[in-house]
């Protein structure tokens, strides 16, 4: 009698795990809500843009006054 023992994982099982990991990453990046990475990056970008604008305005006003 021959006994078959499975020693490794099938490609299907690895694919399912990989799909779950990718799904979690995508949800974290483009998920809805204020705590998503997308909204945090957007807020940081806007803050940096405002800082550059304020610095430019301060330097221009200081030079021409």
On the question of pLDDT at 1 being above 60, the answer is no
Predicted confidence at residue 5, as pLDDT, reads: 65
Q: How far apart are CA 64 and CA 15, in angstroms?
A: 64
Q: Which DSSP helix (H) or strand (E) runs through 12?
A: helix 11-30
User: pLDDT tens across 16-64, in order?
Assistant: 999 999 998 888 777 777 777 778 888 999 999 999 998 888 887 765 5
Q: How far apart are CA 1 and CA 49, in angstroms?
A: 73
Collapse the DSSP code of 45 into the 3-class scheme (helix H, G, I; strand E, B; otherwise coil) and give the result. Answer: helix
Predicted confidence at residue 48, as pLDDT, reads: 95
Average pLDDT over residues 1-25: 81
On the question of pLDDT at 65 being above 60, the answer is no
């Amino acid at each position: 009698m021959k006994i078959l023992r499975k020693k490794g994982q099938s490609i299907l099982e690895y694919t399912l795990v990989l799909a779950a990991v990718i799904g979690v990453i995508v949800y974290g990046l483009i998920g809805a809500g204020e705590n998503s990475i997308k909204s945090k990056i957007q807020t940081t970008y806007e803050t940096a843009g405002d800082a550059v604008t304020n610095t430019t305005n301060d330097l221009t006003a200081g030079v021409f006054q």
